[in-house]
């Protein structure tokens, strides 16, 4: 297929995308993380690139190659992700899409030596991580901001609630309780919500879902 970067839906737009999990170290050999292959975020980066955008992909640790023509900035922790994303948005950003599965909490203290096992039970003290998506959406110069929501129940209610709370233009909800969908799968089913409507996409490949999402986002951007 011929790419037409000058005439695509996102021609000339600057897009920042977060993808993958974050990793929060406990000690030199252990961490807390989330299930996330990064596939949805990488597919969106490719679809946005093909729609004519210049794309910065802020990526947690994943096993995916950097897509050609996309600038990948690797991060590990949620705090790293916030910093790298703020920097990328500062450089200029029309559209921000948060697909990352960010660890909501990190260990309060990072042990400098490996923790040895002793008693039968142990407790780990955790503190809240910063929210990259909410932080970017709250900026006075916020780009058009799209979030994802991974839910296991009451998908529409939780997703719309997140969209409102985080001040998003759109949210892509993912029912991660459906077997074979989301997480490590190549297939997904999502429902996109915006203040005045919604659209379900799939079941389809993450590549196909990304292309439809970029078209949908592009249509909303055009109406700005």
Q: What residues make contact with ligand CTP under the rule CB under 6 A?
A: 18, 78, 98, 100, 102, 104, 129, 131-133, 147-150, 162
Give the E-state strand segments of the chain in sequence order. 14-19, 24-27, 30-32, 54-59, 71-74, 95-98, 105-107, 126-128, 144-151, 170-175, 187-194, 197-205
CA nearest 212: which of 199, 197, 194, 196?
199
Written as six digits, the tokens of 15 are: 């897009």
Q: How many residues bind Ca ion (CB under 5 A)?
A: 1
Task: Compare residues 8 and 31 and give the one whose CB is closer to ligand CTP.
Answer: 31
Catalytic residue (one of 34, 174, 188, 219): 34
Binding-site residues for CTP, please?
Answer: 104, 114, 148, 162, 166
Task: Compare residues 80 and 104 and give the one whose CB is closer to Ca ion.
Answer: 104
Min separation Cβ 173 and ligand CTP, Å = 9
Distance CA 175, CA 171 (A): 13
Single residue of 80, 104, 131, 199 touching Ca ion by CB under 5 A: 104
Q: Per rule CB under 5 A, is residue 74 in the interface with Ca ion?
A: no
Q: Are 78 and 134 in contact (CB under 8 A)?
A: no
Q: Per rule CB under 5 A, is residue 151 in the interface with Ca ion?
A: no
Task: Compare residues 5 and 178 and give the one whose CB is closer to ligand CTP.
Answer: 178
Min separation Cβ 119 and ligand CTP, Å = 30
Task: Compare residues 17 and 46 and give the one whose CB is closer to ligand CTP.
Answer: 17
Distance CA 101, CA 183 (A): 10
- Known catalytic residue: 34? yes
Distance CA 131, CA 9 (A): 29
Catalytic residue positions, numbered: 34
**Contact residues for Ca ion (CB under 5 A)?**
104
């Amino acid at each position: 297929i011929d790419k037409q970067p000058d005439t695509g839906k996102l021609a000339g737009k600057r897009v920042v995308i977060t993808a993958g999990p974050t990793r929060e170290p406990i000690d030199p050999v252990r961490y807390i993380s989330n299930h996330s292959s990064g596939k949805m975020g990488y597919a969106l980066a490719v679809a946005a690139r093909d729609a004519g955008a210049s794309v910065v992909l802020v990526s947690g640790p994943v096993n995916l190659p950097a897509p050609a023509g996309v600038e990948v900035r690797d991060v590990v922790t949620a705090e790293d992700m916030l910093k790298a994303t703020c920097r990328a948005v500062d450089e200029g950003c029309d559209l921000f899409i948060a697909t990352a599965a960010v660890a909501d909490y990190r260990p309060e203290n990072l042990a400098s030596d490996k923790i040895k096992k002793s008693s039968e039970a142990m407790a780990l003290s955790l503190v809240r991580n910063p929210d990259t998506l909410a932080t970017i959406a709250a900026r006075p110069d916020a780009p058009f901001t799209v979030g994802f929501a991974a839910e296991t129940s009451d998908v529409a209610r939780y997703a719309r609630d997140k969209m409102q709370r985080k001040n998003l233009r759109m949210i892509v909800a993912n029912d991660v309780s459906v077997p074979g969908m989301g997480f490590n799968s190549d297939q997904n089913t999502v429902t996109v919500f915006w203040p005045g409507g919604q659209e379900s996409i799939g079941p389809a490949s993450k590549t196909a879902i990304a292309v439809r999402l970029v078209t949908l986002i592009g249509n909303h951007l055009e109406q700005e």
